[in-house]
Amino acid sequence: MNAPFYKFDLFGFDVSLIIAFVIGIGFGFALERGGFGSARILAAQFYFTNMRVLKVMFTAIVTAMIGVFYLSYIGYLDLSLIYISDTYIIPQVVGGFILGMGFIIGGYCPGTSFVAFSTGKKDAIVFILGVTFGVFIFAELYPFIEDFYYSTNMGRVTLPDFFGLSYGMVVFLVILMALGAFAAAEWGERVMAKKGESK
Amino acid sequence: MKNYIMNLSGSKKLAMVGLILGLVAVLLGNPYDNTFAKVNVKELSVEAIRDSEIINVKELAEWIIEGRVDYRLVDLRDEEAYKNYFIPTAVNIPTSKLLESNLMRNQKILLYCEDNIKAAQGWFILKANNYKGVYILNGGVESWKDEILFPSISANASPEEKIEFDKMVEVSKFFGGSPQVGETEGSKEIKMPKIEMPAAIPMNTSGGKPKREGC
């Protein structure tokens, strides 16, 4: 048996949509259980008073990375078939800034807004309307920004290629980075909590 | 030491596991390393007996004429031979460079060479590296020349053979060949067609339409 299953035609496009739906439900559930259904927790990340977003995200990254690395090492997963989108460095940095601004203002990112809405949060529905409106504006403006959108294409870039390191080394370094970030986050939260008390 | 580990909180234990897996990963290095491969000999021998992975030149000619793009045609010969003539839509990947190429494990790959032996070597290399759909063009370039470019018919052929031959003449012309009638073998020098693509065929370098992906 070889993964990715879809690429090896274990199932067709229709079934893949059903599987995506099931995974999506699971993903939403995990986000909600991780506390990502609350705009307060999400926005607090940007003020460094609650580092939960960083911890959850880094945990997810490290877990997936270890899984993918070892599965491909024992030959279950063909890494080269995993889809990696091209890197368009400047447009993606600009896009990241816009998304970040919306994140701080609205308190959600697109995925978490749906999670929050499913738990009945009213601000989430406003946020979703905003997302929809934004998508509409983007689509209308697309002809004018298409050149920029596809500029500075670096192709398919991965960290091992970029730094010329082995995959195992990158896995190790990212784990170190995550553990360091967890320790720093715990420490930072204690400091911020003390500050809060002294005020 | 044991007590120390037992007294750690759950998340710290997980962090330790992560760290250990990371350290092991450094030693393992690269999952892409394809110098050594493990081969399922039984599976390969069954496939070899069944001949299911052999495509003959007439089939290929039909695929090219139909403009099918769900496979990649790979020329395993050296660059010089490839430049001299290649079967339309083929890309040149010498056997030694097969594993460094951009062939994908989920693609249908059709290999050809001068003859079957070289192609079979390439087939084995790819199969051993877990490529799923690898096929061999039966007879390679030689068969392509004999059956597609320069099909011949003896002067005293039966009517059925003639009907069949007339069809082949059309195919042959499509690929720029010249059908031979009667005893012409060796009497005049056979000229290879120029490797210009018949205009109707799209160049198949992408390996077909990629599946929808991304988010």
Mean pLDDT in residue range B173-195? 64
Determine which helix (DSSP H) or strand (DSSP E) holds A38, and give its type and residue range. Answer: none
Instruction: Give tens-digit pLDDT for B76-101.
Output: 998 888 888 888 889 999 888 888 78
Q: A24-28, A54-58, B51-55, B116-120 — which is least confidently predicted? A: B51-55
What confidence score (pLDDT) does residue A177 get?
A: 94
Nearest to B15 among A70, A73, A179 (CB): A179
Residue A186 pLDDT more than 70?
yes
Q: Which range scores top for mean pLDDT: A20-24, A84-88, B64-68, B118-122?
A: A20-24
Q: Do A167 and B214 touch (CB under 8 A)?
A: no
Q: How confident is the model at residue A120 (pLDDT cuts 50, 70, 90)?
A: very high
User: Which pair of structure tokens corresponds to residue B6?
Assistant: 């037992």
Determine, for residues A168 and B26 on separate chains, whether the beta-carbon distance falls below 8 Å. yes
Mean pLDDT of chain B: 79
Domain boundaries, given as residue ranges, for chain B: 39-208
CB-based contact B88:B197 (threshold 8 Å)? yes
Q: Is residue A31 part of a domain?
A: yes
> Is the predicted pLDDT of residue B215 greater than 60, yes or no?
no
The number of domains in chain A is 1
Q: Before A4, cis peptide (omega within 30)?
A: yes
pLDDT at B192: 66
CA distance linking residue B134 with residue B107, whole number of Å: 8
Whether residue A68 is predicted with pLDDT greater than 80 in this model: the reply is yes
Residue A2 lies in a domain: no
Q: What is the mean pLDDT of residues B141-150?
A: 86
B18 interface with A at CB cutoff 8 Å: yes
Q: Which residues contact B66 (CB under 8 A, 6 or more apart)?
A: none
Check residue B193 and give its pLDDT: 66
Closest partner residue to A2 among B22, B130, B211, by Cβ? B130
Chain A residues close to B211, C-beta within 8 Å: 6-7, 13
- Flag whether residue A169 sits within 8 Å of chain B, measured between CB atoms: yes
* Beta-bridge mates of residue B152: B180
Q: Which of B15, B23, B132 is closest, CB to CB, to A8? A: B132
Q: Taking all residues of chain A, what is their mean pLDDT, rounded to a whole number?
A: 89
Q: Which residue of A81, A83, A172 is in closest CB contact with B22?
A: A172
pLDDT at A13 over 70: yes
> CA of B29: which chain A residue's CA is closest?
A168
The predicted pLDDT at position A61 comes to: 93
Residue B209 has pLDDT above 50, yes or no: no
Of A62, A83, A176, the CB nearest to B214: A83
Q: How many CA atoms lie within 13 A of B181 on its CB side?
A: 9
- pLDDT band (50, 70, 90) for residue B206: very low
Cα–Cα distance for residue pair B143/B168, rounded to 1 Å = 14
| ipTM of this complex | 0.76
**Residues A32/A36/A37/A38 CA torsion (nearest 10 deg):** 140
pLDDT at residue number B31: 73
Domain of residue A61 covers: 13-198
The structure tokens 């007294």 sit at B7
Confidence band, pLDDT 50/70/90 cuts, at residue B191: low
Q: How far is CA A93 from CA A84, A87, A137, A192, B202, in A?
A: 17, 10, 19, 29, 37
**B213: chain A residues, CB-CB within 8 Å:** 83
- Span of B79-83, B158-162, B178-182 with lowest mean pLDDT: B178-182
What pLDDT score does A199 carry? Answer: 57
User: Comparing A106-120, B6-20, B145-159, which segment has the lowest mean pLDDT?
Assistant: B145-159
Chain A residues with CB under 8 Å of B212 CB are 13
Query: What are the Cα distances from residue A131, in Å, to A2, A21, A106, B140?
Result: 37, 21, 10, 57
Q: How many Cα neighbours within 13 Å face the side chain of B185? A: 7
Q: From chain B, pick out residues whose CB is under 8 angstroms from the CB of A178.
A: 18
Q: Rounded mean pLDDT of B67-83?
A: 88
Adjacent-strand bridge partners of B153: B181
Non-local (6+) Cβ contacts of B15 within 8 A are: A179, A182
Residue A121 has pLDDT above 70, yes or no: yes
Among candidates A13, A168, A179 on the partner chain, residue whose Cβ is nearest the Cβ of B25: A168
pLDDT for the residue numbered A173: 94
Which of chain B's residues have a Cβ under 8 Å away from the Cβ of A78?
105-106, 130
Is the CB of residue B201 less than 8 Å from the CB of residue B67? yes
CB–CB of B130 and A8 under 8 A?
no
B150 touches B175 (CB < 8 A)? no
**CATH number of the domain at B39-208, please?**
3.40.250.10
pLDDT digits (tens, 9 = 90+) for A160-170: 888 988 889 99
pTM over 0.95: no
Say whether B26 and A175 touch across the interface (CB within 8 A). Answer: no
Chain A CA closest to residue B12: A179
Pairing between strand B54-55 and B72-75? Answer: unpaired
* Per-residue pLDDT, B190: 57
Residues in chain A within 8 Å Cβ distance of B19: 175-176, 179
Higher pLDDT, B158 or B184: B158
Q: Which residues contact B88 (CB under 8 A, 6 or more apart)?
A: B64, B175, B195, B197, B198, B201
Q: What is the pLDDT of residue B34?
A: 64
Give pLDDT, residue A1: 57
For A14-66, the pLDDT digits (tens) are 899 999 999 999 999 999 998 898 988 998 888 888 889 999 999 999 999 99
